[in-house]
Structure 1
C-alpha cells in the first residue's frame, strides 16, 4: 500500500524543489499563487529528477501545469519566463496537436507516423521527457477517471508514449507505461497473468536467488569476475511473448531469467562455458549476437538452460560496455522487437535524446549545440485531411505531396489548401501542416511542372512520375511541345541564328528530335540549352566593369575578353545597340577614338556600318571564361495590377541580378503595360532562368531579351 503523505511532507518537498534553482522556485511560486494542486506535477518532477533532467526542463513542467489550469495567468507571465523554458512549454503545447490527431483515429492505426510527427514539431527534444513523465503520472491516477477517458488515455500511452520510452531506453518508464495501458485496455487478461505471477512470486524469487548463488560460485571458481542480477519480467511483455509464440503461461521458459555482466568478450564465452557446464542447455534456445550482432548493433549471448530443481532458466551474458550500449546507447533493441525501418533523421533525434540521458554529467551547453548542428530538419511531416502522416524531404511543395499520396492524385492536382487556406502549387508546407489536394476529373499534368525555374516539384520521385505520364503521350505531341519550348527560348534570348548542330551530341542524344523530346519531358532544361549555345563559340570571357556611365550605352572590355584577329591590346567595347553576350556570334568594327566596337553578327546597325565602310570590319571571337557580368536589355509585356512592378523587381533581386536602368509604359485604355530593364547578368543560363521566373508572374504575358535595333 502506498504511504499516506503527512502534512509535514508537502512543505519539505516544496522547500527542496524551491531550493534547486531560481527558475524552478519562480515556477513553483507561480503555481502556488494560482492555487494549482501539487498532485498535477509532483509525480512529474520526481520522474524528471530520476531521468536526470535539468532544472529548465523541470521548471517547464510546472509552467505548463499553470498554462493548462489558468491560461490567462500564463499569458500574463509568459514574457517574464526565460526563452529556453518558454520554448519547452511551447513544445508541450504543440504536442497537444498529436494527442488530438490520435483521438480522431480511435482505431489506433499508423501510430508510427504520429510519433514521427511529434518529434518533428517539437523544437527542443527535452520536451519528450516531460511528456513521458506526465503521461506516467496520469496513468497512475487513471483509475479514478471515467471509463471512456481512461480507455483513450491508455490507447494514447500504448501507441505513442510507451514506444518512445522503449526507443529511448527508459526501461523503468517503458515497462510501467506498457503495464498500465495493458491493465486498462485488457483488464481480464492483465488480472489473469498478474494472478499467475503473484501465486508463484515467492517461489520464483527463491529460485532466482538459488540460481544466482550457484552460478556465482561456479564463475568465481573459474576465475571469472562477473556481476549477476535477476531480470524482471513484466506483465505486458509476458503476454506479448505468449501471443507471439502461441504458448501458455506455464510453457514460458524465460519467466525466470538472469543477466551476467563481465569485463570483456573472452569472459563472455568463458562464462557461457561455465553456464553450459553447470546446467544442461536447450539447443534451440541459443543465440550468439556477439559473432552475429543484430542489424542495429545489439550484442549479447542468449541461452536457456535447465537450472536448479529442473526448471528452465534464461541467461543473458554481455560485457558492461555492451550493456550500456544496449540499454541506453544508440543501438537499442527496439527495432528488432517492433520491426520496421526508421529514417536517418528520426534515428538522429533518438540518438541525441539518448546522449542527453546518458551524459548527465556532461556540459548541457555542448549538448544543446549538438542539437542545433546535428538535427537540422531534412524532412517535413504533413497531414492529410483524414489525419494520415506523410514525410517528405525538406523543401517539398504541395504538388510533391500530391504525388507522394498517390500518382493519380498528383496528375489530377489543380490546387491545394494548407490548414484551410488556398496556396499555390509551389508552396512549401511545414511540419504539422494539414494539406488538402484539390483535383480535377481528368489527369492533365503541365510541362511547366518539370521546369526547375518554376519550382513546382522538388523531389525526383514526383518529377519521374510526370515524365512517365508524358512519355506515354504521343511522340508527335512531345516533339511539338519540345519544339515550341526550344524556339521560344531562342526567340526570347534573341538567338534566332544560333548554331544548334552540336546540341544533341553534347547531351548524348542522337538526333535533334531526341533533344526536343528531352526538353518536353524536362530531362533537359532550356537554361542548359542556352549554356551550351553560349559555350559553342568560346568559353565565357572575362569582362571588366564599364567605367563609363550607363547612358553612354557601352561596356568596356578587358583585352582578354575578346580575341581580335591580327591585332592585340586594343580598347574594346560592347555595342549597346545589340548587346552581345558570351556565346553570340560577334564581329568587330574599328571606331574613331573608341577602339573596337563589338556587335552581334546579325546586328542591323553593324550591317549599315559595313555598307558604309567595309574596311573597318574585323573578326573577333570570345576569349577566356569570366565570373563577371554583362549588361542586357529585357522587355516585359503584360496587364497592369497593384504591386506588379514590386513583384518584378523582387524576382530580379532574388535571382542575384542587378538592375542598371528601368522604364515602364502604361496603356490606360487597354490596361496593358510594357516594362524595360537594363540588367547585369552572368550568362545565358542565368538570363534564361530569370526570364522563366518573370514570365511566371501573374499578369505577365511575355518576357524576353531585346534584340538588335
Structure 2
C-alpha cells in the first residue's frame, strides 16, 4: 500500500501546483473513517481507496480527483456524512464523492436492478463531470484485481459479469483501452475459467515453440522503418485471452485455426510518418484484404486515432499492426484521461465524448425497467462501429447492423420520429436495410409520421430502441385512457341515479388511484371490473341491479380515433373490417380483442367479458381474407392480381392452397377500406372469365402454409 508521502510525491511529480494539504487531509480522514475495517483478503480496508488513488496517479489526474479516490467509500462504508466531506474538502470534491459513492446493497433487488441503478447513477454523474467515471473505473479495476479473495462464487460471478457488461464497455467508450483489456481479462478468467486456462496454456506453448518470435518480428519492423529514415518505437505482444476467445466464438474456429494472435504497435512522431510507415509495411509484406482501417482521418466516437492493418509476415504468420503518433498512443492508452495533460484546470469533458454521453443519458430517461436500461446501454456502449455520412458530409458512427432508423435517431431525435423512408447512396431502400461502412444516407421525413412499433424489429442502437419504445408506451397509455373514458361513460349511463359532482374524486380515493387517467387506463385494461367502479362511484348502487344491467353497456362503444394494435386488436381468426358487426372481448390487462359477431371464438369467451363495439365515422380499414379459385391457364394469376390492383386492394399475402389439372385455389389477404370495398372486389373478381369463384373466408378458416 502507498504511504501518505509516496502518494503526495507522485501527484507533485507531475503537478507541482497540486494542493498538498488537500491530499494529506483526505488521506488522514479516510484512514480514520475506515478504522479497523478489513477487506476479503484480510488487508485493511483503507488500502483499497489508496490503491485506487495510486491507479489514478498513473493517469496523472488532478488533486481533486485523487482526493475523491481516497474518500470515495467513506460516505457509504463509514459514519462519515456528505456534509462532513463538503465542510472539510469543499463542494467540488463532495460532488465527485457523491457521484461515485456505492449504492446500499438492497437484497431484494435483482442483479439487473442493482446493475441498472448503479449504471443510472454513474451516467447521470459523469454527464456533469467525467472524473466521476474515471474514479469509478479505477475502483472497479482494483476490485477486479482482488476478486479472487471473495469466498462466494455467485458474488464473484455477478461482479465479473457486471464488469464485462458495463464497466469494460464504458472504459472502451472513453478510450481507456488498458483499463478495458485488464478488466475483460480478469472477468473472463472468472466467468469462463476453463476457456481462460486453455487459451493461456496455448499461448505459453506458442511462445515456447516460437522462441522470441514476437521480438524478432518487432526488430524486423523497426529495422525496415529505420532504413527508410523513420524513427519508430515498435512494441509486440500476443493478444489477450479474452480477445482470442471472442474471435474463436464469433468465427466458430479453433485456436489452431487462428492466424492472427500477435499484434504490434508502431509509434512515430508525426501524422505524416504514420502513412509513410504504413506504405512501407504494405510494400514489404502482403496486406490482408479488408483489414485496413484509417482511424486517423475518421476517428472512433471515443476519439481513438490510429491506422490498423494486417499483413502476411514471411514467418508464415498473419500479424496485426497499429501505426500511431506518441500523442495518439497516450490517448489510446488512457483515453479521456490523457486530455488532462492538454487542459489547464477545469473538468475533463472533451467534445469527442459529449454525443455518446448525451445518448446514454437520454436512454436513462426512456427506459421503463432495469432490463430495458441494461439492454439499451449495452447496445450504445459496445464496439464494432461503422461510419456513414449525411448528404452534407457529416460523419455518423453507428454499430454494425444499424439501419436508416438508427441513423436518423443518431442525427436528431425529431428526424428519427419523422422518418418515412431513406436513400442510401442515392437509391430508395427499405428502412430495415443495413447500412454499410462509407454509405451516404439521406432520411426522408414527414411531420405527419410518428415512430412505429414495427421498427423495434430492426433498430440496432440503444438510443433508437429507447425512443421507439417510449413513444409506443406513451401512445398505448394515451389510447387506453381514451378507450377507458368511453367504457366509463357507459358505466355511468347504467348507474341507477345521476352522480354527484364529487363522485369521481371520492371514487379515486376508495380505489386508491392517483388520478382519473389511471382509473380510465385500469378500466380499459380490465384490471378493475365495472361493478367495482360502480360501487366506488356510488356505494350500494349494484345491489338493486340485475347482472345484465350491471354488465351490459346500453350503447356500442365507438373505436373512432383509436389505432388498431394499440388499445384494441383486430382478431386474426376472423379479420374484421369496418362495416362488419363487431363485438369486443375484454381480457385482463390486455388490449380489447375485436371479433365479428359470427366468430366462433366468441362462444368460448364468457358473455360478461363481451362489449358491444362500433367502428365510428372514420377508420383505418383492415385486411380481408379471400378464397379465389382460378382456371389453370396461363395468365390467370395475372388477371386476378390486375383486378385487385384496379380495385385499389394491396395484396398482403397470397398462398396456393389447392392445385389440380383444371383449377388453382388461392387464399389471398388484401388491404381494404371497409366491407363495401371488399364486396366490390369480390364482384369484380367473379365477373372475370378466368376466375371460377371468389368468396370471403369464414372466421377461423386457416391460411395455407
- Which protein has the larger Cα radius of gyration, Structure 1 or Structure 2? 1
Instruction: Give the TM-score normalised by structure 1.
Output: 0.47
Instruction: Give the TM-score normalised by structure 2.
Output: 0.48
